[in-house]
Amino acid sequence: MSGVATDWQHGWWSGARRIDSPNHGPRPHGTGVTLALIHSISLPPGVYGGDEIERLFTNRLDWSAHPYFEQIRGFEVSSHFVIRRDGESLQFVSVRDRAWHAGRSVWRGRENCNDYSVGIELEGLEGESFEAAQYASLVQLLKALATELPLTEVVGHEHVAPGRKCDPGAGFDWKRLQTQTGWVERFFPAAFASPAA
């Protein structure tokens, strides 16, 4: 990785491949984007490398292509970014807009995290580990986001929807992310723990 790509055009980052999703809307007027929200996703669960995530976020998924897809039939969802297993970054929604990634959520007493967060999906299965290339790309993305937005915290979907969601899960190494960004611990979940060796 040669430096951090920080170029932005209307909320689109030059460091990611752009794939426009129709699943977004405006943020509430005057809302600052202070939260980076980490998720994990794989379609079908545990299968990597296909284009199913892109198809889901662009409403082009063939619901009959796999039995699991019947469980999510008709979902209209999106995230701002996806980081593939090989570290490739994709962007589906401008960070100026509200992506549909968090669902019912609350952080520090503030509801509707979609309003004030950027959603970042890591290709992976909750509870399992992620690739070194994904951490490197995530660090690059977070540093770029910090040049564009007033970020103050980075948390997981599990933190804003406890009991309902558990991603990115125990396999995600929060301490590693904190060390690699060089950001102070207050940016991250208060009680993060490294996964078991």
Is 123 inside a domain boundary?
A: yes
Place of tokens 């992620």: 130
| Domain assignment present for 119 | yes
pLDDT of 129 strictly over 50? yes
* 147 assigned to some structural domain: yes
Q: What is the mean pLDDT of residues 5-16?
A: 92
> Residue 190: what pLDDT?
77
Distance CA 170, CA 193 (A): 8
Q: What are phi and psi of 24, to 5 degrees?
A: -160, 170
Instruction: Specify the pairing of strand 117-123 against strand 35-41.
Output: parallel
Instruction: CATH number of the domain at 171, please.
Output: 3.40.80.10
Query: Is residue 137's pLDDT more than 90?
Result: yes
Q: Is residue 1 part of a domain?
A: no
Residue 3 domain-assigned?
Answer: no
Is 121 part of the annotated catalytic residue set?
yes
Confidence of residue 154 (pLDDT cuts 50, 70, 90): very high
Any domain includes 77: yes
**Strand spans (E) along the chain:** 8-9, 12-13, 17-18, 24-26, 35-41, 81-83, 89-91, 97-99, 106-107, 110-111, 117-123, 153-156
Instruction: Check if the beta carbon of residue 19 is closer than 8 Å to that of residue 55.
Output: no
**Residue 116, helix vs strand vs coil:** helix
With pLDDT > 70 as the criterion, what percentage of the chain qualifies? Answer: 93
d(CA 4, CA 6): 6
Rounded CA-CA distance 29/48 in Å is: 37
pLDDT digits (tens, 9 = 90+) for 41-79: 999 999 999 999 999 999 999 999 999 999 999 999 999
C-alpha distances (whole Å) from 158 to each of 69, 73, 84, 169, 185 are 22, 23, 20, 7, 18
Angle between helices 174-181 and 132-148 (to 10 degrees): 50
What range defines the domain where residue 119 resides? 8-185
Q: What is the pTM of this model?
A: 0.94
Query: Given a cut of 90, is residue 7 above it in pLDDT?
Result: yes
Number of folded domains in the chain? 1
From the candidates 52, 121, 126, 158, which is the catalytic residue?
Answer: 121
